[in-house]
Structure 1
Amino acid sequence: MATRFATRQLRSALCRPSRFMSTAPPPKTLPSFSMQGKVCMVTGAARGLGYEFCRAFVSSGCTSLAIVDLKQEEAAAAAAELTTYARANNTDANPEEVNIIGVECDVSSEKSVQKAYADVMSTYGRIDSVVASAGIVENYSAFDYPFDRIKRLYDINVHGAFFTAREAARNMIPQGGGSIVLVASMSANIVNIPQPQTPYNASKAAVKHMASSLAVEWAKKGVRVNVLSPGYMLTKLTKTVLSHDPELQKTWERLTPMGKMGDPEDLAGAIVFLSSDASSFMTGSEIRVDGGYCII
């Protein structure tokens, strides 16, 4: 089962076009944007936005990367895909230098998060950039939202982000610092319509302020904590949902000043900026990539 899943995913990854893939020599850019030599870790990375963040890191030179997700087989399959992608497209690295691993982790469990970091540190010996991308969203009215699902959402979105950030800092401070990016949402700043999602919105507002608070605590210890807040993105999951409700997509696009939803790859530049030395004097800040949704 796992082999079939990995083969299918690998074929998909290699066949789909990407703005990162090119036969032309790479354009010159500021060295501070490079992820070369950095050890990176992304939670919720087997699919969706987390996977795109990993592709962005690999495209920016990262060869030491931990793919963290709930199921080991899916994390390992994603790691295999990205290893193939890195060896084919990272011309500055020797193939044997690419070391991308899949790590099983339930971010809602502090012990599971601690074990994941132990695995990463055992493999690489250090950690430079961490992205807390694991999260869920559900749409229930406030009166109908089951308590067990509210608790699960907060355990993943809020507690998971906190556990991920705290363990990152514990490992980064002794080595002199690092970068942590918490993935929130434009929902941390606005109330989405027409879908009801009060607990989700509140969870992302909590993540945004959590980053500010942690940034203050750790600023003098070399650990930066920033927030990336996406708007409506056309992930595979979103496309599936909207295929059953095309009017909802039209509503979202109408409410977005740019008149469209974003592509997951639209977040690549922002995540590399926040995770790299290019943002070395930036902490406690939020970058919104939402097509202008929050400004009206």
Structure 2
Amino acid sequence: MTNVMEQFKLDGRVVIVTGGAMGLGKAMAQALAQAGANIVIADINLPIAQKTAHHISEAEQVTAYAIEVDVTEPQAVENMAHSVVKEFGKIDILVNNAGMTINEKAEDMSYESWKKVMDLNLNGIFLVAQTVGRVMIKQGFGSIINTSSMSGLIANKPQEQCSYNASKAGVIMLTKSLAMEWSKYGLKVNTIAPGYMKTELTRPFFDEGGEMIDDWMGFTPMGRPGAPHELGGIVVYLASDASSYAQGSVFTIDGGYTAL
């Protein structure tokens, strides 16, 4: 009989977490390390990424190191994947997490702003998935976990963020498409769609409160933002053998926001 808890162990597995220096990426990297995985923090901010990697290595007694990468630059992404394979000989898991938002009215948004969001949130996700996916296809195994958002499923209010919503919807469909294409190679491709999360960047907004926060929490049945560590369980599940039949799926972690 299969031991369920054994399926969640990630001992010896190699994980890349893009955008892993802070926030949700950092929390997911910590959770994966606690399950036994070795962690590569891939981020454009190398000093913070190095600090995060050092903390994870010390706290969880796994190998963790940082790589500076701009996920919108194909050669930089290629160099990242090559470096990880050279170091470990494989890539078991990718948490494809780097992203951003720009809140601007659609009628006022410049094309440059639109492209900036799309380039990081969708093109970057594709570039990293494609590059790491090629490694995993050769291996015959691997799990790709893309970070989308509940904003890929609904249009948020009251903030205006059409570029962010569109990019995250694109991540969801990209995830489904890659799952369809890459199942035959032994790869899993799924996406996590978080709701409003209280991170280092959003904490000041939640602490200050106001009409927008009241709106956000009023539409969230649980009445509170999520904490980054609350993504730990789902990312370990998707990274591990426990999710062996999960494919092309969207896992919404939003306190019930999209249930309304």
TM-score range, shorter chain: over 0.9
1:29 deviates by 6.2
Task: Tell me which structure has the larger Cα radius of gyration.
Answer: 1
2:164 matched residue in structure 1? 200
1:86 matched residue in structure 2? 60
User: Given the two structures, how large is their TM-score scaled by the length of structure 2?
Assistant: 0.96
Identity among equivalent pairs (%): 38
Contact kept in structure 1, 2:205 and 2:213, CA below 8 Å: no
Of residues 113, 122, 139, the one that matches 1:175 is: 139
1:42 equivalent in alignment to 2:17: yes
Q: Where in structure 2 are the equivalents of 1:119-198 lying within 5 Å?
A: 119-198=83-162
- Which string of whole-angstrom CA distances, capped at 9 and with x for unpartnered residues, describes residues 33-70 of structure 1? 111111111000000100000010011112x2100000
2:202 matched residue in structure 1? 238
Ranked by relative contact order (alpha carbons within 8 Å, sequence separation 6 or more), the top structure is: 2
Contact kept in structure 2, 1:218 and 1:224, CA below 8 Å: yes
Of residues 110, 117, 139, the one that matches 2:74 is: 110
Contact kept in structure 1, 2:176 and 2:190, CA below 8 Å: yes
Q: Where in structure 2 are the equivalents of 1:224-263 lying within 5 Å?
A: 224-263=188-227
2:51 matched residue in structure 1? 77
Q: RMSD between aligned alpha carbons? A: 1.3
Of residues 234, 244, 249, the one that matches 1:280 is: 244
1:52 matched residue in structure 2? 27
1:244 deviates by 4.7
User: Given the two structures, how large is their TM-score scaled by the length of structure 1?
Assistant: 0.85
- Which string of whole-angstrom CA distances, capped at 9 and with x for unpartnered residues, describes residues 55-95 of structure 1? 10011112x210000022222121111111113xxxxxxxx
Contact kept in structure 1, 2:198 and 2:206, CA below 8 Å: no
1:265 matched residue in structure 2? 229
Aligned mates of 1:269, 1:243 — CA distance in 2:
26
Gaps of 5+ in 1: 1-27, 88-97
Contact kept in structure 2, 1:173 and 1:223, CA below 8 Å: yes
Question: What is the number of equivalent residue pairs in this alignment?
Answer: 258
1:9 matched residue in structure 2? none
Aligned mates of 1:189, 1:289 — CA distance in 2:
12
